[in-house]
Amino acid sequence: MTNSSHQADYGIIGAGISGLIAAQHLSKQGQSVLVIDKARGVGGRMATRRKDDAVWDHGAQYIRFHNPENFADLPHWTGKVIQPWFEQMNSPDGLSGETATRWKCQKGMTSLPKFLAEGLPIHLSTRIATLEQHDDFWRLQSENGEHFQVKKLLITAPGPQAVALLETLSNVGTAALSRIKKIHYDPCLALLIQLKTPSSLPSPGALKLTDNRVLSWLADNQQKGISPVPCVTLHASPEWSATQFDTAEDSITQAMLEAAKPYLGEVELLSAQLMRWRYSQPTQVNHDDEAFCVVQNNPALIVAGDGLGGPSVEGAMRSGLAAAKWLLSS
């Protein structure tokens, strides 16, 4: 238990890509910022798991920039943090003739959030329990007794977690709360497997499935260039993940491995680890005309994230950047 207190102009709850993009933009404008997250590391669903030589991206798999002109820092990231992984047709049927680059992070997807987090004051393993409104600032209290005082507040946690925080307030606007409550997410079961020999997944090591009851995605992290040893990420389909989310790990693992056999080839399994993403990808994105939601103007309180900016890494970035710009002008 601690009674330490921290102050800044801006407070951001959530150290995923949306919150970090916002924090970087505010910091570059000379503003003091505090970033707070309940996890042990930054990145949220841009997650990379390492075990000895094995490396897996097990959340978001790539970045697709529909509007790269919106990100002034993209040239700075290219070649330094991110690089092309593969090209893919834009249309689902592959008939449009237009392709787009899927970008990977050179050292795993979490490397971009870590890059953005450099130099920022970030409080990890800190879960905010309550919000308290004062005349011209917000006071936040964590479960372990820390206090944070900020003039303006941005929440970038997934919709249900943002709602839980907002409901600690007595006078939150019903319209804003209703908008955020409409954001829903698919769960995802991710199985991280290490193989003795390389898999049989075709180059570039990315395979999206549309006709498999159990699996929706397979990624060979060795082919991707982030793992020196054969490692494959399996994502279960949203429907199967939802029905099996609370099933015993052994049962889930066996079913996912069996479904993956036709794609992996004759390989020997060295290890398997199951990850459960309760909030994987928004299924109902409520962005309207803005990529964020203003809960209150004075003192400013807004919500951002992929549930408002679009169900992708780019959508989360877009939302965080738009939120930061609005906070600076409010």
Please state, in angstroms and rounded to a whole number, the distance separating the CA atoms of residues 306 and 65: 14
Whether pTM exceeds 0.95: no
Cα 167 from Cα 182, distance rounded (Å): 15
Give residue-wise pLDDT tens across range 266-318.
999 999 999 999 999 998 665 556 899 999 999 999 999 999 999 999 999 99
pLDDT digits (tens, 9 = 90+) for 57-85: 999 999 999 888 888 888 989 988 999 99
The string of pLDDT tens digits covering residues 185-201 is 999 999 999 999 999 99
Question: Domain 5-46+62-183+285-329, CATH 3.50.50.60 — does that match?
Answer: yes
How many Å apart are CA 11 and CA 148, to the nearest integer? Answer: 8
Query: Of 289 and 116, which is predicted with more confidence?
Result: 116
Location of each CATH 3.90.660.10 domain in the chain: 185-282
Domain with CATH 3.50.50.60 in the chain: 5-46+62-183+285-329
Residues in CB range of 243: below 8 A, 6 or more apart: none
Q: Which fold has domain 185-282?
A: Polyamine Oxidase; Chain A, domain 2 (3.90.660)
Contacts of 199 (CB under 8 A, 6+ apart): 205, 220, 222, 230, 232, 263, 264, 265, 267
